[in-house]
Amino acid sequence: MNQNSVELEMESLDGLIILITGANAGIGRALTLDLAHRGATCLMLGRNVTGLEALYDEIMAAGDPEPAIIPFDLSQPNPERIVELVSAINDQYGHLDGLIHNAAILGERVPFQQYKLSTWSEVFRVNFDAPVALTQALLPLLQRPKASSLLFVSSSVGKAPRAYWGAYANSKYALEGFAALLSDELANTTNIRISVVNPGATRTNMRKAAYPAENPASVKAPDALLPLMRHLIAPSSSAPRGYRFDSNGNFEPLVAE
């Protein structure tokens, strides 16, 4: 095995309580189905309630643990709504074993000079401000004697922003910086594994919007990412803490050594 790649294992997720943002579509949907099928109770957060209800029905039809639907507009992460969310999760479950920041919006693919600042602000609210606010509020539920996981879904442009990727690239760059800061702060004081995943080219609606001329069959389906992401969530995982992973399981530290 490459010393810079993680060895994937088959882990039990029975009884875990995991919150996934953007659960109703793409990578979030595939991951939610997979985690539920392996015994986790999934708290499905998103603004597309119809999509979340369809996902709920699919999980229940499979006989997996009953998930929870959390309607939440990440473009409006107001403090009062977040306090209500944390209180409801604490009352119902008492803790979290995992928090997966998957939700994101693309924004515009235009030169910066033509970029609408209103769109720029919205992209940052969804892709950066909301994950920061939710993480701060939910950290007490993740801080427990047993291992827990905080997973950020990023992008190749989050590590190295490129022309015409606008607010999306910059918001993901900021998100990776936040993950690095948090990893450094919590490494020696908690049992929380903080990881960043760059999915690479994946067959999602966002990918289609970014590359409309691309043949969808030429890129991998979201299911290809599941073994890695499941491994990073599992309490028994041997994956290192505080690392950025690509879709092949290769990794590098978030904080420069």
Residue among 99, 52, 60, 64 nearest 195 (CA): 99
Q: Which residue has the tokens 């479950």?
A: 93
- Main-chain phi, psi angles of 134, to 5 degrees: -65, -40
Half-sphere exposure of 112 (CA within 13 A, CB side): 8
The separation between CA 135 and the C-alpha centre of its own chain, rounded to angstroms, equals 11
Which is catalytic among the residues 168, 173, 211, 243? 168
115 is annotated as an active-site residue: no
Q: Identify the burial level of 121 via C-beta atoms within 10 angstroms of its C-beta, where 0-12 means exposed, 13-18 middle and 19 or more buried.
A: middle
Catalytic residue set: 168
